[in-house]
Amino acid sequence: MARKVALAFVTCGYVGYLPFAPGTWASILGCILIYLLPGILNHPLTAILIAVAAVLCINRMELPDKDPGYIVIDELAGICVTMVGQGLDVTNLLKGFILFRIFDILKPFPIRRLEALPKGYGIVADDILAGIYANAALLLLGRLR
């Protein structure tokens, strides 16, 4: 039973098994949940709790490879970090989503290096830093208008 709950958690309710771009779908799910639960999923403590729980769950799992595509809780944690302290209107969520996906896919320095960390640490840490980069970019964009 605990294994099934952990698998449902790290796959974001099995979104990770979608056949095309599961990380993108998990990020979209995160945006929807943040919009529906304002002040909860974009709270710093919630983002930290999701990241820590993700690392703990992933570290207990037997993984077929270093970062299996079906594990997408890291993307949900990353989008939560992206939106910490940000306005939660649809336009800002869309900007945050786009920025997070850009940083998560391109992995500018030192994001890619974090993937070398063992197991869950590497899987989650790169998305957390991508979320921090996206959050900073979103703040900068807000200041420029």
What pLDDT is stored for residue 140 in this prediction? 94
Look at residue 50 and tell me whether its pLDDT is greater than 80.
Answer: yes
What pLDDT is stored for residue 127 in this prediction? 97
Global pTM reads 0.92
What pLDDT is stored for residue 57 in this prediction? 92
What pLDDT is stored for residue 105 in this prediction? 94
DSSP code, position 72:
-
What pLDDT is stored for residue 76 in this prediction? 97
Look at residue 58 and tell me whether its pLDDT is greater than 80.
Answer: yes
- Cα dist from 9 to 28, 46, 135, whole Å: 16, 15, 24
The Cα 72–Cα 17 span in angstroms is 9
